[in-house]
Amino acid sequence: SQELEQSPQSLIVQEGKNLTINCTSSKTLYGLYWYKQKYGEGLIFLMMLQKGGEEKSHEKITAKLDEKKQQSSLHITASQPSHAGIYLCGADQNTGNQFYFGTGTSLTVIP
Amino acid sequence: ETGVTQSPTHLIKTRGQQVTLRCSSQSGHNTVSWYQQALGQGPQFIFQYYREEENGRGNFPPRFSGLQFPNYSSELNVNALELDDSALYLCASSRPREAETQYFGPGTRLLVL
């Protein structure tokens, strides 16, 4: 089965600082997804990456998938308190009927 | 907010009891997936339903079962509850093989005493 390891496990940053969250897979990724979760709530889809070397941005959040398609990073520029939450990477198997999540990264942004 | 709703929002049960959780899917989505999220961990895939049949299953015992109805809503049933079943249960609806269209519900928080 697919295993996704995220680092760091938790992050506390001052408002305005940049930060990076990493997601490493034990297998080649066919699709890598990033989600954000407010504590105890459902997940909100952020971005999907499929091609090696692909990079996508949405507002101040940028995600990249490395050429070998086994690692992805999520970068937040000039963090704000609204960015606080749990960030989860996810991947589906090529069959499309199973989905795996990473261990999660808890982000706290101090005003 | 997504169009995926879950009920109940919170539930307290005792060991050995049975529980049924419900999920209504986003309009136009005919696939429903269920996840278990223990405190401080990422969601774990339980199973997926498509066209009223189980279409994929994670590493969960048979006492976790489900149903999907013709209107694509779904139920998750857990028998013989154990303390470790305490978790946030999330459902997500999507179009087939389009994980990027997964819309998550707010979850049901289950506490087993």
Residue A2: predicted pLDDT: 61
Q: Is A47 in contact with A56 (CB distance < 8 Å)?
A: yes
Residue A34 has pLDDT above 90, yes or no: yes
Which residues in chain B have Cβ-Cβ distances shorter than 8 Å to A43? 43, 90, 92, 102, 104
Confidence of residue A36 (pLDDT cuts 50, 70, 90): very high
- pLDDT, chain A, mean: 90
Residue A94: predicted pLDDT: 63
Q: Which contacts (CB < 8 Å, 24+ apart) does range A40-45 have?
A: A40/B88, A40/B107, A40/B109, A41/B106, A41/B107, A42/B2, A42/B4, A42/B90, A42/B104, A42/B105, A42/B106, A42/B107, A43/A88, A43/B43, A43/B90, A43/B92, A43/B102, A43/B104, A44/B104, A45/B100, A45/B102, A45/B103
Which residues in chain B have Cβ-Cβ distances shorter than 8 Å to A41? 106-107
Residue B7: predicted pLDDT: 96
For A43-71, write each residue's pLDDT tens digit: 998 999 988 889 999 889 999 999 888 99
* Token representation of residue A87: 């960030």
Q: Is B55 in contact with B36 (CB distance < 8 Å)?
A: no
Interface touch A103/B4, C-beta < 8 Å: no
Residue A101 has pLDDT above 90, yes or no: yes
Report, as an integer, the average pLDDT of A1-7.
Answer: 83
Which range among A17-26, A50-59, B65-74 shows the weakest confidence by mean pLDDT?
A50-59
* In chain B, residues 56-85 whose CB comes closer than 8 Å to chain A: 56-59
Interface touch B43/A102, C-beta < 8 Å: no
Shortest distance between the Cα of A14 and any Cα of chain B, in A, equals 22
Of the candidates B42, B88, B100, the beta carbon closest to that of A88 is on B42
For B8-26, write each residue's pLDDT tens digit: 999 999 999 999 999 999 8
Interface touch B59/A88, C-beta < 8 Å: no
Confidence of residue B1 (pLDDT cuts 50, 70, 90): low
Percent of chain A with pLDDT over 90: 66
Other C-beta atoms closer than 10 Å to the C-beta of B103 total 20
- pLDDT, chain B, mean: 92
Report, as an integer, the average pLDDT of B36-61.
Answer: 92
Residue A41: predicted pLDDT: 81
Interface touch A98/B56, C-beta < 8 Å: yes
Q: Is B95 on the interface with A (CB under 8 A)?
A: no
Residue A39 has pLDDT above 90, yes or no: no
Confidence of residue A81 (pLDDT cuts 50, 70, 90): very high
Interface touch A104/B48, C-beta < 8 Å: no
Q: Which residues pair with A7 in a beta bridge?
A: A22
